[in-house]
Amino acid sequence: MSDSQTALSQWISTQCKLNRLFVHDLKNPISALSANLNYLETVPLENSEDVREALTDSVLAAGMLLKLAENFDLIALLESGETFPLTQVNLSDFVRTAVRRNKGLSDSAGIRLVIREPLPNVAQYWQNRYAELVIDNLIMSAVRHSSHGEQVIVGLNEVDGNARVTVLDQGPRIAEEHCAGLFTRESQVDAKKNPGCRYGRGLGLYAVGLAVEVLGASVEIGEEDGLTAFTFVCPLRSLT
């Protein structure tokens, strides 16, 4: 078999595994929705703790399902090279809107989603749909790996001509050896083999990796004040 045939075979194999990863993650929220809604059909709709908990779980699962579908759609766009018009965005508004957009899901998971004030008044010029994909996935990844009652913090600053949007959580640390390839399709497939890998779940971080490449940005992984920190770093651009 030639080198090109081997490379193609490996790519197809990885693609198949990624598709199965999508199906696996899709089944989890669907199963939760089905189980909870079936339960609700068997009990009187009264003000009981069990009913409220089942409804909350269903809302969370439905939101996760929608996020998953959005990721799959945007991954297809990113892999096809699709671009969007550049728009000017106030990054303080960008952060506040992202927190509002994800607050319903974080509340359903019992996680407090908060903004680290103050937010500087910074303007940016970029493909906003892909930037929203990055911040939404970083926030929801932090929510997913936090425990009930904990908080996820979102902050913004400007350093050396770069906008830095940071998402902090109290979840488990990420092993250094997993950081380098964290946002590639291969790492998401391989991480399934390691049950101790915190971020070996789903398509979210793979979508982030594709989006930051298009945006000319990067994501730094580290710790800040004892918290796990993901920082979306993007060079500031203006209309002129």
Last residue of a domain, one of 79, 108, 132: 79
Same domain, 72 and 173: no
- Return all residues near 79 (Cβ < 8 A) that are at least 6 apart: 210
Same domain, 209 and 118: yes
Same domain, 10 and 47: yes
Question: 163: which 2 tokens?
Answer: 């906008």
Give the global pTM.
Answer: 0.77
Same domain, 202 and 93: yes
User: Cis omega before residue 118 (within 30°)?
Assistant: yes
Last residue of a domain, one of 79, 97, 127: 79
Q: How many domains does the chain have?
A: 2
240 within a domain of the structure (yes/no): no
Same domain, 130 and 164: yes
Domain that holds residue 230: 87-235
Same domain, 216 and 116: yes
138 within a domain of the structure (yes/no): yes
Same domain, 145 and 92: yes
Same domain, 74 and 53: yes
pLDDT at 19: 64
- Torsion, Cα 137 220 225 99, to 10 degrees, reads -30
Q: Residue ranges of the chain with pLDDT lower than 50?
A: 200
Last residue of a domain, one of 79, 99, 129: 79
Question: 11: which 2 tokens?
Answer: 């790519």
DSSP code at position 144: H
Q: For residue 239, which phi and psi values (nearest 5 degrees)?
A: -70, -20
Q: How many CA atoms lie less than 13 Å away from 80 in the CB half-sphere? A: 9
pLDDT at 154: 98
